[in-house]
């Protein structure tokens, strides 16, 4: 899920967990961002506000291929910008997400190993691998749960938030500002044409 090329220095909030502390027994961790990073998160996600953001993680390592499965349940109240009026639009989010991580020096999935031996043409003909078959690399022995939350929150946001009545107002404004000869329906155009014909 995360961008493998993202630099930790550019991230607004990080909450690291040592990968060696994640074993084959399920462990749970709940995290929330400190208040001082909220403005930076709002700027990154183009939001007016973020409240009550928290995530409960369940983490477990596969005893065979050593891949770590991270399951999260994210909840938050956010204020988005209406795409028409830029007024605040409130949204409550309650979403689950999954991610998989592996040490780049450890065993990889059979599917990924097989794909890496394929030619470029063969790879293009193959379906895209599932996330668990192509886990993210563990960097310096740590997994950044904070960045994972931010990326998951971004994917959970409504891509087209609209304030109540914003669409109707926008249509009326567009018609009011339209140049002469622009009509909202064909009957209006017909009426204007008939009036011009009667004057001839």
pLDDT, tens digit, 9 for 90 and up, residues 116-131: 665 665 556 555 545 5
Instruction: Please report the pLDDT score of residue 191 as a whole number.
Output: 46
Mean pLDDT, the chain, rounded, equals 79
Closest CA to 50 of 107, 108, 93: 93
What does the domain layout of the chain look like in residue ranges?
Answer: 8-162, 165-200
- Split at pLDDT 50, 70, 90, the class of 11 is confident
Burial of 157 (0-12, 13-18, 19+ CB in 10 A): middle
| pLDDT above 70 coverage of the chain, percent | 64
What are 170's two structure tokens?
């926008």
Give the 3-state secondary structure of residue 92: strand
C-alpha dist (Å) from residue 182 to 46, 172, 174: 35, 13, 10
Instruction: Please report the pLDDT score of residue 4 as a whole number.
Output: 47
Q: What is the pTM of this model?
A: 0.70
H helix runs in 78-144, sequence order: 110-116, 120-125
């Amino acid at each position: 899920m995360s961008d493998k090329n993202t630099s930790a220095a550019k991230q607004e909030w990080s909450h690291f967990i040592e990968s060696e502390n994640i074993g084959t027994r399920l462990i749970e961790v709940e995290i929330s961002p400190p208040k001082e990073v909220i403005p930076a998160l709002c700027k990154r996600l183009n939001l007016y506000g973020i409240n009550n953001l928290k995530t409960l993680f369940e983490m477990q390592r596969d005893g065979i291929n050593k891949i770590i499965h991270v399951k999260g349940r994210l909840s938050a109240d956010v204020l988005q910008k209406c795409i028409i009026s830029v007024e605040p639009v409130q949204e409550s989010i309650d979403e689950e997400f999954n991610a998989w991580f592996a040490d780049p020096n450890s065993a990889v999935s059979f599917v990924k190993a097989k794909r890496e031996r394929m030619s470029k043409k063969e790879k293009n003909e193959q379906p895209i691998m599932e996330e668990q078959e192509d886990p993210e690399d563990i960097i310096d022995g740590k997994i950044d749960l904070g960045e994972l939350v931010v990326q998951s929150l971004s994917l959970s946001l409504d891509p087209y938030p609209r304030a109540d009545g914003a669409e109707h107002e926008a249509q009326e404004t567009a018609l009011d500002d339209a140049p002469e000869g622009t009509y909202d329906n064909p009957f209006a155009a017909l009426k204007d044409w008939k009036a011009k014909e009667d004057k001839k």
